Structure 1
Amino acid sequence: MKRKLIAAVGATAMVAGLTACGSDGDSAGGDDTLTIWAMDGSAPDAWAKELNKAFEAKHKGVQVEIKVQHWNGIQEKITTALSEDSPPDVLELGNTQTSGYAATGGLAELTDMKGKLGYDSWNEGMVPSTELDGKLYSAPWYAASRVVVYDKKAFEKAGIKPPKTRDEWVDGLRQIEEKTDKQPIYLPGQFWYVFAGLLWDEGGTLAAKQGDTWKGTLSSPEAQKAMDFYKKLQSFSTAPKDTDEAKPQQSTDVVPKGKVASWIGLGWEAAGALDAIKKAGGEADFGYFPIPGKSADKPGSVFLGGSNLAVSERSPNKELAKDWLRMATSEKWMRKYAEATEGGLLPNRESAQIEPEADSFAAAMVETSKVGRLTPVTPGWANVETEPNPIKEYMTKVLKGTDPKKAGKEADEVIAERINKS
């Protein structure tokens, strides 16, 4: 599978082998030009050209221009653009960022377009990021989630198959530990996206709203249960307890060196690991399975990172922009999008999902599409993820022996302070 997918920072760094048409730039164009800001790798060239040709045929005299943007520094760039008189007409926004831009009044409201946009058919896990205070400000475009990547030879040597439940997962890791010389799982102590999924499976959440304010909820019994299981998984790993999956980068700095039987990652990470192993003269035979759930009837919950499309409130071509957004996110064009990305990204509705190749990363990821979840949808959530991230610090403290409730209360105080900032 080609490298494509978002690497969530709150879900925000896109790495892809696909290129959108146009080039990086700030100008929004004249009244006869509809300007789209899409992130590097998000709009496959062939898909974008076909879509824009169809749109221009419908709207005679209008030209669509896609300007490729880069994730580094994009939040400041978008904030500035939305405050100007001629912003881009349509923007791609990280799904954890969208509510913040909506709260500033920079995005056009789309609530009256729910029917035209196919709101009721959208992936339920993607919907919350498109709204704020009951009003719609964007449409989901694509998403992706993490799955377990495993060394088929190591699993075969241990005599195990991909697990369907948490208990089977732990038992399999024990078998690998006993029967192979490989690390059963590489799981750094601050991989909070994985922890979030375990927490959701326990019925908990990272933060909850009380009246008009938010509070952290890591001191809850649900969080303690989630950390108990995370701690059990982490006991099979030699990964540091005080770093995340990017320090060192697991896919290119750890896995290619061998001795890792399994790890949890995104599609671009799996592709990156394969490339790195090949360049080093090795050969990898990876398999993929969803993070197991508490029971076999459904996989474990996952963080569903991705992007939305929104219209600038100050767009000089607002109605045209709304129609382009409607067209781009429709079932027809989302299916074409899924085909163009070879199933490496989840389209905004199940009916647009193509059948992925058997035993591929995409196949495992599609299984998780119905159990995808998001971080709390509120403008203040971005403050929580700012380093030092209190969720990461909470995890490290618990893994190093601090009482979970005590560590949770300390994290909750920081979360509450940050999330309630305007």
Structure 2
Amino acid sequence: MKGWRGLAVGAAALSVAVAGCGTSSDNAGGDPGAPKTLTVWLMDGSAPTTLTDALNKEFQDSNPGVTVKYEVQKWNGIQEKLTTALTSNNPPDVIELGNTQTAKFAAEETLYDLSGDVNDLNGDQWLGGLKDSLTWDGKQYGMPFYAANRTVIYRTDLFEAAGIASAPTSRDEWVAAIEKLKAANAADPDFQPLYLPGQSWYSLLSFIWDEGGDVAKPQGSAWAGALDTPQAKAGVEFYKKLVDVSGTKAPKDADEATPQQMEVFGTGKVGMMIGLPWELAGAVKANPDLESKTAAFPIPSKTAGKAAPVFLGGSNLAIPAGSQNPDLAKAYLKLLSGKKYQDMLAEGGSVPGTSTDTQKLATNPLGKALAESAPNGKVTPTTPAWAAVEAGQNPLKDMLTAYLTGAKPLDQATSDANASLSKTLAG
């Protein structure tokens, strides 16, 4: 998953000339004391300009003769652009990439091995799930930048009117809240206590992980599907329970982007959605009245009082293997990994990737829910083959639609999806 503010999963192809990749150094192979340029690529919307302006100025002031060439990239087409840049003679020196993209480029040996620099990059503060996304063949190929995860975004006024005194802290309480919302708004045929699209597979991951299952497991040097295990099936069953009890009108053959669930939530006819911070922001932008009427709670676990594991979508930072200024690039990452800039990320609404201190994030109900969920976060299998799962005919989406529509019983739906997933992961 790419940066959560853009969160367009999968990118359209974009042809990029090598000449557009930029030059990493004005003094390649020359006098080490001569002026140098450090080229940094960060993604559109990833970091506020207040952070990047301060970071680049501090770095330049601390490194006389070095100029930071800061370039903002678009998510659309970035995988193709990175592929071109990383195989050129003059790649950038620091790049941001989605945490599901990292394994692909690490396996292609186009990223710098930072295994020996983890301590300098505050590795003891890295979120566990994000660290996993940086690991390939036992080595570390970057550092976490930021993340966001899904929470249950809800209408506080509707909860109050339905007699729901507090946010649910277990699955049972969550189901009970759905039923209370449905009863309190029974006179409105357009009302949905929970909007849940049939193919919201990132939400499904939470339920599978909460049951102790997984979508895939390592099998030797490869990965194989694990969707046919009892634990994974239990997660799929709970997903269907939410769909059935809520009576959601969301399509069973589409995900949260078709239609955009934030637009549906913005109509005011929805009590809850499982969403990301930017989706709440989009709903409030469309319907400003919602700003004072919304809050969030972590996706509840089946174990009362605990949050379910969540998918950590976000970005990593890496150094291209062909960088002509790797030491400067490491120093840049070290500065960014410090508390000062991690706090600035948190203040901007992101889960900081290299700081376990979430105090700056937990200053509002949404940030508090993010902070409570993030330490229990996970990522999808760290294999280059996973990109084909998301970009192609996603077996998890097909499985959900088949089961929710009754086209296949649970055992067949999970078995078929598992076979398809294993085939894709095998390459």
Given candidates 76, 80, 87, the residue that maps to 1:76 is 80
Cα drift, residue 283 of structure 1: 7.3
Q: Which letter maps to 1:88?
A: P
Please state whether the residue corresponding to 1:34 is helix, strand or coil.
Answer: strand
Cα drift, residue 296 of structure 1: 2.7
| C-alpha distance in 2 between matches for 1:220 and 1:133 | 26
Cα drift, residue 110 of structure 1: 0.5
| C-alpha distance in 1 between matches for 2:365 and 2:296 | 7
Matched, 1:321 2:325: no
Matched, 1:242 2:253: yes
| C-alpha distance in 1 between matches for 2:177 and 2:227 | 29
Given candidates 35, 43, 55, the residue that maps to 2:59 is 55
Given candidates 265, 279, 286, the residue that maps to 1:255 is 265
Given candidates 197, 200, 207, the residue that maps to 1:198 is 207
Cα drift, residue 336 of structure 1: 3.3
Matched, 1:285 2:296: no
Seen in structure 2, the aligned counterparts of structure 1 residues 12 and 302 have a Cα distance that, compared at 3 Å, is farther
Cα drift, residue 405 of structure 1: 1.8
TM-score for both structures, normalised by structure 2: 0.90
Q: Deviations over 1:343-393 (max 9, x none)?
A: x10112444433346543112111111111101111111111123211100
Please state whether the residue corresponding to 1:308 is helix, strand or coil.
Answer: strand
| Count of residues paired in the alignment | 402
| C-alpha distance in 1 between matches for 2:54 and 2:291 | 38
| C-alpha distance in 2 between matches for 1:64 and 1:329 | 17
Q: Which letter maps to 1:310?
A: A
Paired position in structure 2 for 1:6: 5
Q: CA RMSD in A?
A: 2.0
Paired position in structure 1 for 2:418: 412
Seen in structure 2, the aligned counterparts of structure 1 residues 384 and 9 have a Cα distance that, compared at 3 Å, is farther
Seen in structure 2, the aligned counterparts of structure 1 residues 394 and 73 have a Cα distance that, compared at 3 Å, is same
- Between 1:388-397 and 1:401-410, the stretch displaced more is 401-410
Paired position in structure 1 for 2:350: 345
- Between 1:323-332 and 1:220-229, the stretch displaced more is 323-332
Cα drift, residue 136 of structure 1: 0.7
| C-alpha distance in 2 between matches for 1:317 and 1:358 | 38
Paired position in structure 2 for 1:276: 286
Q: Retained in 1: the 8 A contact 2:126–2:356? A: no
Q: Which letter maps to 1:259?
A: K
Cα drift, residue 54 of structure 1: 1.8
Paired position in structure 1 for 2:136: 132
Seen in structure 2, the aligned counterparts of structure 1 residues 311 and 350 have a Cα distance that, compared at 3 Å, is closer
Seen in structure 2, the aligned counterparts of structure 1 residues 148 and 80 have a Cα distance that, compared at 3 Å, is same
Please state whether the residue corresponding to 1:92 is helix, strand or coil.
Answer: strand
Paired position in structure 2 for 1:208: 217
Paired position in structure 2 for 1:27: 22
Seen in structure 2, the aligned counterparts of structure 1 residues 7 and 220 have a Cα distance that, compared at 3 Å, is farther
Task: Map 1:315-394 onto structure 2 (within 5 A).
Answer: 315-339=323-347, 341=348, 344-356=349-361, 358-394=363-399
Cα drift, residue 10 of structure 1: 5.6
Q: Deviations over 1:246-301 (max 9, x none)?
A: 0000102x1222321111111111011011113xx887611211111112332111
Matched, 1:179 2:188: no
Paired position in structure 1 for 2:32: none
Q: Retained in 2: the 8 A contact 1:186–1:260? A: yes
Cα drift, residue 316 of structure 1: 1.2
- Between 1:330-339 and 1:195-204, the stretch displaced more is 330-339
Q: Retained in 1: the 8 A contact 2:6–2:75? A: no
| C-alpha distance in 2 between matches for 1:373 and 1:351 | 15
Cα drift, residue 7 of structure 1: 5.0
Detail structure 1 runs of 4+ shifted over 4 Å in the superposition: 7-13, 281-284
Please state whether the residue corresponding to 1:168 is helix, strand or coil.
Answer: helix
Seen in structure 2, the aligned counterparts of structure 1 residues 139 and 294 have a Cα distance that, compared at 3 Å, is same
- Between 1:129-138 and 1:150-159, the stretch displaced more is 150-159
| C-alpha distance in 2 between matches for 1:135 and 1:407 | 36
Paired position in structure 2 for 1:395: 400
| C-alpha distance in 2 between matches for 1:156 and 1:90 | 48
Percent identity for Structure 1 against Structure 2: 43
Paired position in structure 2 for 1:220: 229
Q: Which letter maps to 2:74?
A: H
Cα drift, residue 420 of structure 1: 2.2
Q: Retained in 2: the 8 A contact 1:89–1:315? A: yes
Given candidates 41, 45, 48, the residue that maps to 1:41 is 45
Give unpaired runs (5+ residues) of structure 1. 14-24
TM-score for both structures, normalised by structure 1: 0.91
Q: Deviations over 1:54-76 (max 9, x none)?
A: 21222210101110000000000
| C-alpha distance in 2 between matches for 1:412 and 1:351 | 35
Seen in structure 2, the aligned counterparts of structure 1 residues 337 and 256 have a Cα distance that, compared at 3 Å, is closer
Please state whether the residue corresponding to 1:309 is helix, strand or coil.
Answer: strand
Q: Retained in 1: the 8 A contact 2:194–2:272? A: yes
- Between 1:288-297 and 1:191-200, the stretch displaced more is 288-297
Paired position in structure 1 for 2:30: none
Matched, 1:153 2:157: yes
